[in-house]
Amino acid sequence: MPFTVIIPARLASTRLPNKPLADLGGKPMVVRVAERAALSGARQVAVATDHADIVAACREHGVDVHLTRADHPSGTDRIAEVAAALGLPEEAVIVNVQGDEPLIDPGLVAATAALIGPDTPMATAAHAIHSAAEAFNPNIVKVALDRAGKALYFSRAAIPWHRDGFAQTKDLLPSGYQPLRHIGLYAYRNAFLQAYPRLEISPLEQIEALEQLRVLWHGFPIAVHVTERAPAAGVDTPEDLARVRTHFGQEK
């Protein structure tokens, strides 16, 4: 099924000021993200931003860009505005690729988009966790699935909790126990994306500080594509930026 990628990009960043405009091998980060997203087979790639500087940078490099309201509470709300402005039909599939993922796997984008169907308004991705340190790290979001590959719950805690194994040790993962790390990549059917901003904020979402829990709390399913390979990390810190710059330097 054809799909559209929309990339939310805000200029403000607490840990890395002007992050979307950071230079990566001669191009701004947001442009690199758009280029990677285009390799996924998307029929259209657009950037949704709140700042004129990002608009200018995208236009300089031939990237479709749309200036949005500045007061959106989340990237999901921002891409919903642009999807409406593009006049996309209700059944259109839209993928939210974060603006700080210049090494995003195009195949992962396509695989996540492919999960959207008549009874699946939203999809995301995950990969296996292999260390206890990651399982217990609250900055790493975990997801538990049902037999059909739909999300049962997302949490910053280690889920599912291995009662007997963790009673013995929390330094190693118990044998046969395979927790999943959530990947912050989302696909939506446009009708659901447009309805999402009107959904009441859920208590679970506020407790865990995880926006996707609003969807489950209201009873909507989220399909999860489980990839065998962990994706390259995004850019959140100056150290991340240095790592990614080295990657683009090696590609010259």
Confidence check: pLDDT of 84 > 50: yes
User: Comparing 43 with 197, which gets the higher pLDDT?
Assistant: 43
pLDDT grade for 232, boundaries at 50, 70 and 90: confident
Helices (H), 52-97: 52-60, 75-85
Q: For residues 109-136, b (16+ Cβ closer than 10 Å) or e, as one string?
A: bbbbbebbeeebbbbbbbbebeebebbb
C-alpha to C-alpha distance for 135 and 180, rounded to whole angstroms: 8
CB 95 within 8 A of CB 186: yes
Would you state the pLDDT for residue 252?
A: 43
Q: Which helix (H) or strand (E) holds 182?
A: strand 180-189
Question: In this predicted model, what pLDDT tens digit does every residue of 23-48 receive, in sequence order?
Answer: 999 999 999 999 999 999 999 999 99
Entry pTM: 0.93
Would you state the pLDDT for residue 249?
A: 80
C-alpha to C-alpha distance for 94 and 83, rounded to whole angstroms: 8
Count of CA atoms in the C-beta half-sphere (13 A) of 59: 9
The string of DSSP codes covering 30-59 is HHHHHHHHHTTT-SEEEEEES-HHHHHHHH
Note the residue count of the chain: 252
